[in-house]
Amino acid sequence: MQDPNIVGQLRKGDGSALKRLYRNTADRAYLLAMRMTGDPSTTNKVIQAVFEELWHKRKTIDPLQDLSSRILRETYVCVRELQKEKGVKLCPLPDPSTHQYQTLLEKLVKLEETEQLVYLLHTADGFSTREVARTLDISDEAATTLHARALEKLQSEVFEIGMD
């Protein structure tokens, strides 16, 4: 559970709040990045980049936002960007220039952050339900429920663009 004062402290520039947040969330983010990259050096760079970016954008953090989910999402995005830069073959999503891709992105951003992560890890990156659960430190049942909820919310768009 997130300390209710941590966002306010971060927004005011309190470095000790960032340290507490790091202590409470970095392990899960590290596991996610390590699972995706398989490389400790790259994983450390990703985690550092995620927390530096959070610090630089601290004044824009929504006071009601779950920072743990945000950190995991930012970790995922950072790894994916690195993979694109290195030319690593990524999941078969529609071409980014197509209407279908834009529609899928519009639907994805409307999901809760944990639903986004579960959907992307399971569907796009091929993690098993158990791997998703272990990576995000949730139960297998929670991973299954979150994935089902994400699919339900995306279903009309997913079938429309042929991603079933």
Cα 40 to Cα 53, 82, 112: the distances in Å are: 20, 14, 29
- Outline which parts of the chain fall under CATH 1.10.10.10: 92-164
- Looking at the domain 92-164, which fold is it? Arc Repressor Mutant, subunit A (1.10.10)
Per-residue pLDDT of 94-134, as tens digits, reads 555 667 667 777 777 788 888 888 888 887 777 888 988 88
| pTM assigned to the model | 0.67
User: How does DSSP assign 145-156, residue by residue?
Assistant: HHHHHHHHHHHH
Structure confidence at residue 50 (pLDDT)? 94
Q: What is the mean pLDDT of residues 159-164?
A: 45
Buried/exposed 53-85: b ≥16 CB within 10 Å, e otherwise: ebeeebeebeeeebbbbbbbbbbbebbbebeee
Alpha-carbon distance 68 to 24, whole Å?
8
Q: What is the mean pLDDT of residues 45-57?
A: 94
- Outline which parts of the chain fall under CATH 1.10.1740.10: 1-90
- Looking at the domain 1-90, which fold is it? Rna Polymerase Sigma Factor; Chain: A (1.10.1740)
Alpha-carbon distance 114 to 122, whole Å?
12
Question: What single-letter amino acid sits at 123?
Answer: T
Structure confidence at residue 163 (pLDDT)? 43
